[in-house]
Amino acid sequence: MTKLQITLTDEEGALLSEQAMLLGYDVTKYAKFVLAQKAIEQLTAIPTHKASANIERIIRKGREEYRKGNTKTRILGQYDHPRSQ
């Protein structure tokens, strides 16, 4: 278990208290709720990155080759054999 201790200004405490009352929570329980919600958002967020034009072109070319049957596929580990030395 992790213990967290924070100091809030009077205004911050009042805002949290107000929001907590709407849900029927005390400030501590509400703060835990908010932190848990943010953690869940982070876990469910799928990061995306914009590919460069060159990478997009390479992907399109690879997909087209795959559709035409020009791409060899293999299952990892299926063709791995110990080499004799």
Q: Is 84 inside a domain boundary?
A: no
Please indicate, yes or no, if residue 78 is contained in any of the structural domains.
no
- Give residue-wise pLDDT tens across range 16-40: 999 999 999 999 999 999 999 999 9
Q: Model-level pTM?
A: 0.51
Q: Tens digit of pLDDT for each residue in 31-67?
A: 999 999 999 998 888 888 899 999 999 999 999 998 9
- Alpha carbons 63 and 27: distance in angstroms, whole number: 54
9: in domain: yes
Residue 25: inside a domain, yes or no?
Answer: yes
- Domains held by the chain: number: 1
> DSSP string of 60-83?
HHHHHHHHHT------TTTS--PP
Domain that holds residue 5: 1-70
